[in-house]
Amino acid sequence: MKRKIASILAVVLILATVLATGAMAACPEPAVTVRVNGMTVTFPDGQPYVDANSRTMIPVRFVTAELGAEVSWDNKSQTAVIEKDGIRIDIPIGYSTMKVTEAGKVRSVKIDTEAVLKEGRTYVPIRFIAEALGAVVDYSDIYHTVGIYLGELTAEEITTLRGYAYTQPEYAISYEEAKAMYSADDLAYFYGTDRDSFTNFANAHEHLYHTLNRSGKYYFKDIETIMEDCTTEEFYCNVVKQAVAEVAYYSERLTVSFRTDNSCIYQADAIDSLTTCVRGIVTARLSVKPTELTGAETAMLCRLGFTQLYKDVDLNIPVDVHMNTTPDYRVNVHTFVALGEAY
What would the DSSP string read from start to end of 4-17? Answer: HHHHHHHHHHHHHH
Give the pairing of strands 116-118 and 87-92: unpaired
Question: How far apart, in whole angstroms, are the C-alpha atoms of residue 33 and residue 39?
Answer: 10
> What averages of pLDDT result for each successive group of 10 residues across the chain (343 residues)?
48 44 48 89 83 84 85 90 93 90 91 85 87 93 92 94 87 83 83 82 90 80 88 88 95 94 87 79 93 89 85 93 86 88 58
Query: Of 100, 109, 113, 108, nearest to 57 (Cα)?
Result: 113
The reported pLDDT for the residue numbered 325 is 84
Which residues make Cβ contacts (< 8 Å) with residue 123, sequence separation at least 6? 46, 49, 57, 58, 59, 60, 115, 116, 117
Contact 54, 29 (CB under 8 A): no
Helices (H), the chain: 2-26, 60-66, 126-132, 155-162, 175-178, 184-191, 201-210, 232-247, 295-304
* C-alpha distance from residue 325 to each of 166, 260, 271 (Å): 18, 18, 11
Assign residue 144 a region (left: φ > 0; alpha: ψ between -120 and 50; beta: otherwise): left
> How far lies 191's CA from each of 120, 126, 199, 264, in Å?
42, 30, 13, 17
Measure the N-to-C terminal CA separation of the chain; round to a whole number of Å.
Answer: 78
CATH of 33-149, one of 3.30.457.10, 3.50.50.60, 3.40.228.10, 3.40.50.280: 3.30.457.10
**pTM (2 d.p.):** 0.83
Contact 93, 118 (CB under 8 A): no
Q: What is the pLDDT of residue 45?
A: 77
Instruction: Say how far residue 276 (Cα) sits from the centre of its chain.
Output: 13
Helices 201-210/232-247 angle, 10° precision = 110
Beta bridge pairs of residue 310 = none
157-216 residue pLDDT tens: 999 999 999 888 777 788 888 888 888 888 877 777 778 888 999 999 998 888 766 778
Q: Where in the chain is the domain with CATH 3.30.457.10?
A: 33-149
Quick one: pLDDT at residue 30?
Answer: 66
Query: Nearest 5°: phi and psi at 277?
Result: -105, 130
Position 2 scores a pLDDT of 46
Report the alpha-carbon distance of residue 332 to residue 81 in Å, rounded.
44
Question: Residue 341's closest CA among 313, 307, 309, 290?
Answer: 307
Residues 145/211, Cβ–Cβ less than 8 Å: no
**What is the pLDDT at residue 342?**
57
Cα-based angle 265, 268, 272 (whole degrees, multiple of 5): 130
pLDDT of residue 212: 67
φ and ψ at 106, to 5 degrees?
-115, 130
